[in-house]
Structure 1
Amino acid sequence: ALLPLAVPPAAAPGGCPSACYCVATPELVQCRYERLEEPPRELPATVHNLSIAGSNLSVLQRAAFAARPLPDLRLLRLRHDNIQIIEDMALQGLPALRTLDLSHNPLLSVAAGAFAGAPLLRTLQLNQALLAAPLEEQLALALRNLSLRRLELAGNALQALPAALLPAGLEELDLRNNSLQRLTAAELRSLEAPGLRGLRLTLGANPLSCDCALRPFLTWLRTAAARGGEPGRLETASYVFFGIVLALIGIVFLMVLYLNRRGIKRWLHNLREACRDQMEGYHYRYEQDADPRRTSTIGTPGL
């Protein structure tokens, strides 16, 4: 296994920043929990994957990564970095960027041209990043000129389908662990747009209500399967399932009792004998205490 190597910037041309680590080669740079307030400026020009986690990049300023050209950077992870504001052209200088991960950041403002510097961006991850403020309108403007293929919005407590955030050509939409109880007919019609016909929708861990309001969604699932798309799977939990589980547990318990019936009978017999001996002891002591001869003998001195 290859171990992370910490290389100071002056060690060699294109070396790792002092606050980061190069894993195996300078093409993979990780800056974790170094409390950076801005992206490192001495990144190697050949870096392909850059991960900055646990820092304090509260404002992702214009051309934040343009101090040194990074023409080969394809994956940028900025998780848990307290990013609140993304300014216009914040990704300027990243022409090859394809995957951007902004998960676990309390986003408050996203400029309309925030992602304009990354024309090849195909995957955007915003898991647990939309909890601090409603940003659907701002994100819709920021995504309008992108050709996204995958959008992740898991864990954002969304109560409705973010139809405004679905650009044409989107292939995968991850809405797991939100607060969706149902999908209305209007929301489902938005998924029928020509540019979203092949969309793969993930809705795991949402509290979907099993009532009549869910009928349009079930109809949409059947229609999608009939068109030749991937059939949807709707996972539900009911009291019938738990009842079956409890019944199986009861059957197993009865089988254990049946297989150990002789031992249980012997144990009950021993318990009964022990109780009988104990009661006979109490009865004997009671008779001794109630004997009048014993009482008179104890009460007469000198005998």
Structure 2
Amino acid sequence: MCLLCSPVRTDGVCPPSCVCATDSGTVTCRDGEETEVPGDIPEWTSTLVLQGRNISTLRRGAFMTNGTELDVATLSLSDNGIREIEPYAFLGLPRLHLLDLSHNRLESVSSRAFHGLPELRSLLLNCCLSPAATAQLPHALSAQSLRNLHRLELAGNQLISIPLERLDIYNLHALVLVNNSIESIGRENVSSLYQQRRLRVYLSLNPFRCTCELEAFYYWLKNSSQCPDAGRLVCSEPEARRGVSVEKLRGEDVDCMNENLEAVSYVFLGIVLALIGVVFLMVLYLNRGGIKKWLNNIREACRDQMEVYHYRYEQDSDPRLANVAV
């Protein structure tokens, strides 16, 4: 009777700093002072939550208990201040389906950090990557360890770009890139998106630069349903299009051919005007004698006309000159 009423099983006593629920298989360890993962996590654990602790480094096999593996399906390590993930850190969790590392401060991620997770379906890395960790991430997300990855979240990491053409090695269904610093999606990445029809990409809250460089992505967005939050994508640049929905742009707004022709036309007009100016100056120089004579004739004609006007003014002023012929 005591064994039936016990909150934990006898093969795994709940760690003192954690709360265990056998009915849901959840172990929650929050706000501890420990700098390591608890070493006595019950083997029956299916959901493990470690939050608000002082874990700075995940070492090799950090979740193995006395050399045995844990039956963990969900592992949340968010908000622990983790800075480094060593190789094979998650060894001992072969049945893990969801791993949440959000809101940490990752500065170093080993290329073999996620090895030993063949069943991982969801990897959450929101608001946790430094520039150094971002550069290391493509090597850590290797096909050898994450072939069954369905969902990858990279929101809030100030990413400038993401090599989408390399993600076809996974079984991805959802890629979350919300609230980053992505200004454009290149043609290579767009081609990869066309090939991965099942993939859904979330891209809202990115500062898109709506110039002709966005042309390929613009037409993909108009002709595809792979971006569920397409209606929330807005332009950040240029100033004239700031706040405009990317979907509501006109084709000519992102037409590189039209933009190039317009630039060429301005250059051509400038060249034509410069040539006309040169020709005009040459004509003036070559005909400077004739031009001078023409100007003198105009001046003399003007002077004669002014004399006539002056005499008529005097005639009107003095009645005695009324009978004098001009």
Fold conserved between structures, TM > 0.5: yes
Corresponding residue SS for 2:230? coil
CA distance in 1, matches of 2:188, 2:117: 32
- Classify the secondary structure of the residue corresponding to 2:29: strand
> In 1, Cα distance between the equivalents of 2:228 and 2:94?
37
The equivalent residue for 1:73 is 72
Instruction: Give the Cα–Cα distance (whole angstroms) in 2 for the partners of residues 111 and 127 of structure 1.
Output: 18
Query: Matched residue of 1:35: which SS?
Result: coil
Query: 2:231 aligns to what?
Result: 234
Alignment partner of 1:177 is 2:179: yes
In proportion to residue count, which structure has more helix? 2
Contact 1:110 1:139 in 2 (8 A): no
Matches within 5 A, 1:108-123: 108-123=107-122
Contact 1:62 1:90 in 2 (8 A): yes
Q: Is the 8 A contact 1:100 1:123 kept in 2?
A: yes
In 1, Cα distance between equivalents of 2:108 and 2:165: 17
Pair 1:55-2:56 in alignment: no
The Cα shift of 1:163 comes to 2.8
Q: Does structure 1 residue 103 correspond to structure 2 residue 102?
A: yes
Which runs of structure 1 show a deviation greater than 6 angstroms over 4 or more consecutive aligned residues?
237-241
Shift of 1:12: 5.2
For residues 147-199 of structure 1, the C-alpha deviation after alignment (integer angstroms, 9 at most, x for no partner) is 21110000000111233762332110000011112212122123234xx2311
Q: 1:104 to 1:91 in 2, by over 3 A?
A: same
**Aligned residues of 2:47 and 2:72 also touching (Cα < 8 A):** yes
After superposition, the C-alpha distances for 1:215-246 in whole angstroms (9 at most, x for unaligned) are 22121123324xxx6776332487899xxxxx
Contact 1:15 1:26 (8 Å CA) reproduced: no
Secondary structure class of the residue paired with 2:194: coil
Number of aligned pairs?
A: 229
Task: Name the aligned partner's letter for residue 197 of structure 2.
Answer: R
Instruction: Give the secondary structure class of the aligned counterpart of 2:95.
Output: coil
8 A Cα contact 1:143 1:165, kept in partner: no
State the Cα distance separating 1:74 from its structure 2 match: 0.3
Which residue matches 1:19? 17
Confirm or deny: 8 A CA contact 2:204 2:230 kept in the other structure. Answer: no
Aligned residues of 2:41 and 2:65 also touching (Cα < 8 A):
no
Deviation at 1:132, TM superposition (A): 5.0
Partner of 2:205: 205
Partner of 1:222: 222
The 1:163/1:64 distance shift into structure 2, 3 A limit, reads same
Deviations 1:10-34 (A, max 9, x none): x955232101112464711111111
Unaligned runs of 5+ in 1: 1-6, 242-303
| Distance of 2:26 and 2:78 partners within structure 1 | 16
> Displacement of 1:140 after TM fit?
2.8
Q: What TM-score do you get using the length of structure 1 for normalisation?
A: 0.67
Amino acid at match of 1:204: S
Amino acid at match of 1:215: E
Is residue 95–residue 120 contact of structure 1 (8 Å, CA) maintained in 2?
yes
TM-score normalized with structure 2 length = 0.63
8 Å CA contact 2:203–2:230 kept in 1: the answer is no
What is the CA–CA distance in structure 2 between the aligned matches of 1:220 and 1:72, rounded to whole Å? 42
Equivalent position SS for 1:89:
coil
5+ residue gaps in structure 2?
Answer: 1-6, 236-240, 245-326
Structure 1 residue 139, shift from structure 2 partner: 3.5
Deviation sequence 1:125-156 (CA, Å, 0-9, x none): 10012135243344434432212111000000
Counterpart for residue 159 of structure 1? 160
Question: What code does the residue aligned with 2:25 have?
Answer: E
Given the superposition, is the C-alpha separation of residues 118 and 240 from structure 1 closer, same or farther in structure 2, using an over 3 Å criterion? Answer: closer
Partners of 2:50 and 2:171 lie apart in 1 by 29
SS at match of 1:192: helix
Return the letter of the residue paired with 1:206: N
8 Å CA contact 2:108–2:133 kept in 1: the answer is: no
Q: Which residue of 2 aligns with 1:88?
A: 87
Kept in 1, the 8 Å contact 2:114–2:140? The answer is no
Identity of aligned residues (%): 36
Counterpart CA distance in 2 for 1:239 and 1:63 is: 49
